[in-house]
Chains A and B, each alone.
Chain A
Amino acid sequence: MIENLIDGPLWYFSLAVFVIGVVWRLGSIIFASRKQDLSVARGAAGPAAVKTVFSRFVPHKEIASQITVPIVAGYMFHLGLFALLFFAAPHVAFLEENLLGFGWTPMPHWAFIIASQLAFLGLIMLWVRRMVNPVSRLISTWDDHVAAILTFVVMLTGCFALLEGSTGLRLLHRFSVELWLIYFPFSALMHTFTFIPSRAFTGAWFGRRGIDA
């Protein structure tokens, strides 16, 4: 009964909430009405927008030494999670069979283990740093904590179901993924998509004013 619910209606419902929610939120940001900028342009906005999207991947030299933990742990977590999400063999097979109809070469098992360990260690360190650093703690909302814990639970249940021999553990993982998908559009997890328009907007704004930032 519960197996049918998790593999069937709940999966399609969570997927629909995720897709519609993400499109809705991105659309509301991109098509939001803005006041026309009447100032005389001192530089090109377009190239500055593209440049900023990529330049923000590298921290400023002035503050890099003070944010070593978030930088290193951040890259560990995000790269590890990206590799797990799109190159873990069970995920590639699942996407091919259920969504896309085509697949690609998954990473070997040893790479899967290393990627998941990087992701776990990165996420734990990021969350701990959020709690112990006074500034990070002050600017963190309950949503940040829920998003981090939910992501951790999804990864943890995924690692529990690693052997793929237990239906119960597979269902637990899938159920946690469904909760994560439903929570995603309404939370800080949206930064997965919004970081691009956010950086581009800032870059364009600075570029038009001739600011090299």
Chain B
Amino acid sequence: MKFRTLLIVMCLALVPFQAFSQDDKPEPGVFMKDPGAELWRQVRQRDMEGVGISQVRGVDSGVLINARGDQWARFRMTQLSTYGGFAIAGIFAIVILFYVVRGRVPIEGGLSGRMVKRFTDYERVVHWTLAIVFLFLALTGLILLLGRPVLLPLFGKEVFSLMASASKEGHNLFGPLFLVSLIMMLISFARRNIYEKGDLTWLLRGGGLIGEGHASGGFFNMGEKTWYWMVILIGLVISVSGLILVSPSLGQGRVIMELSHIVHTIGALILMTVSVGHMYLGSIGSEGSLEGMKTGYVDINWADAHHDRWGKVCHEQDLIISAEEYARLQGQKPGAGEMETAEQSK
């Protein structure tokens, strides 16, 4: 007990007297720069005013810590991947909702069975090659962009590391194939995708999907032409930015790489979201559309309904073939064409 009392008295003696005097003003402290903080400010080159000196010769070799890189990483991890994920999920939701509300757009008058040639074999090879390469790049790109928040919790670290590593290698290898396919697409389809008189009318009528009015179109309508030029122009931007990213030894600095990455990802997300709409309208969304890219031929009623100006030319130049002739060209048994048409019309 005595010892405890003694201890309390000793502790009170150690407390400065000023602590108990509330009225006295504290003595002004001496302002001293923290030498550590100043050192790290210089090391991080936070103000971006100067670059350090290094014996190493190379781009950005004088930069010890890239402060802008933090901004880019935060943007990539928080905004880019989050909004990108929402964009992809959102477009699927919109397409499903549209299908539920609007259903499959039927051909006015149904399928006639009489066909007209729309695309050559080469044009379809170019289209599907670009489509396959694009889908592969989209899938691997999404794994790289959204894998950490979406796939990692599902599959665990080991499996996800395999997926991410494989995706990166596959994405880098297939990237230049996209550029080659894009150039083939540009050469094959550019002439027919030049805007012409009447295209704006198609746009004002919502392409025939909105409202009841008929939307007049040529060989390609305004929507298809816009999608085509989007693919070409954004595709070129994606390709060039992608080549900058896979060739870090060409002399570009970190800032250019970071900007390229952002441009590459945003461009790819735009193409991916719009491509979902393209795939929907080219398949289940519109009756008879897929046939053009599948067999090279479309039903003349489909041509009249969606591309009436081109359909008129087909009528005038007598380019329409019978169901029997179409079946023969496709190597089908006699009568198979009519059966298929009847099935499709149901």
Q: A interface vs B, CB < 8 Å? A: 68-69, 113, 116-117, 120-121, 124-125, 128-129, 131-135, 137-138, 156, 159-163, 165-166, 168-169
Q: Which of A113, A120, A121, A165 contacts B165 (CB 8 A)?
A: A165
Interface residues of B in 122-167 (CB under 8 A from A): 122, 124-125, 128-129, 132-133, 158, 161-162, 165-166
20 A-B residue pairs with CB within 8 Å: A69-B125, A117-B176, A120-B177, A121-B129, A124-B133, A124-B177, A128-B125, A128-B128, A129-B121, A132-B294, A132-B296, A135-B331, A159-B169, A160-B166, A160-B170, A163-B169, A166-B162, A169-B162, A169-B165, A169-B166
Interface residues of B in 45-67 (CB under 8 A from A): none
Most buried by B among A132, A162, A169: A132
Q: Name the distance in Å between B172's Cβ and chain A's nearest Cβ.
A: 9
Instruction: Tell me, in angstroms, the Cα distance from A162 to B162 when the chains sit together.
Output: 12
Establish whether residues B129 and A134, one from each chain, have CB atoms under 8 Å apart when the complex forms.
no
Q: Name the distance in Å between B214's Cβ and chain A's nearest Cβ.
A: 31
Establish whether residues B173 and A162, one from each chain, have CB atoms under 8 Å apart when the complex forms.
yes
Q: Which of B129, B170, B331 contacts A124 (CB 8 A)?
A: B129
Q: Name the distance in Å between B334's Cβ and chain A's nearest Cβ.
A: 15
Instruction: Tell me, in angstroms, the Cα distance from A120 to B169 when the chains sit together.
Output: 14
Instruction: Tell me, in angstroms, the Cα distance from A133 to B158 when the chains sit together.
Output: 43
Q: Name the distance in Å between B121's Cβ and chain A's nearest Cβ.
A: 5
CB-CB under 8 A for A113 and B173, given A165-B165, A168-B162, A169-B166: yes
Counting CB contacts under 8 A, is B19 at the interface? no
Instruction: Tell me, in angstroms, the Cα distance from A117 to B296 when the chains sit together.
Output: 28
Count of A-B contacts judged by CB separation below 8 Å: 69
Additional 19 contacts, C-beta under 8 A, given A128-B124, A133-B121, A160-B169: A68-B122, A69-B125, A120-B174, A121-B177, A124-B129, A124-B133, A128-B128, A128-B129, A131-B128, A132-B125, A135-B331, A137-B331, A138-B331, A156-B170, A160-B166, A161-B166, A165-B165, A166-B161, A169-B166
Q: Which residues of B contact A161 (CB under 8 A)?
A: 166, 169
Establish whether residues A117 and B177, one from each chain, have CB atoms under 8 Å apart when the complex forms.
yes
Establish whether residues B166 and A120, one from each chain, have CB atoms under 8 Å apart when the complex forms.
no
Q: Name the distance in Å between B321's Cβ and chain A's nearest Cβ.
A: 13
Establish whether residues A159 and B170, one from each chain, have CB atoms under 8 Å apart when the complex forms.
yes
Establish whether residues B173 and A132, one from each chain, have CB atoms under 8 Å apart when the complex forms.
no
Instruction: Tell me, in angstroms, the Cα distance from A134 to B166 when the chains sit together.
Output: 35
Interface residues of B in 295-311 (CB under 8 A from A): 295-296
Q: Name the distance in Å between A130's Cβ and chain B's nearest Cβ.
A: 10
Q: Name the distance in Å between A59's Cβ and chain B's nearest Cβ.
A: 16
Q: Which residues of A contact B294 (CB under 8 A)?
A: 132
Instruction: Tell me, in angstroms, the Cα distance from A116 to B169 when the chains sit together.
Output: 12
Q: Name the distance in Å between A56's Cβ and chain B's nearest Cβ.
A: 23
Q: Which residues of A contact B122 (CB under 8 A)?
A: 68-69
CB-CB under 8 A for A128 and B170, given A117-B176, A133-B121, A137-B331: no
Instruction: Tell me, in angstroms, the Cα distance from A132 to B291 when the chains sit together.
Output: 11
Most buried by A among B122, B124, B173: B173
Q: Which residues of B contact A69 (CB under 8 A)?
A: 121-122, 125
Q: Which residues of A contact B176 (CB under 8 A)?
A: 117
Establish whether residues A129 and B125, one from each chain, have CB atoms under 8 Å apart when the complex forms.
yes
Establish whether residues B169 and A121, one from each chain, have CB atoms under 8 Å apart when the complex forms.
no
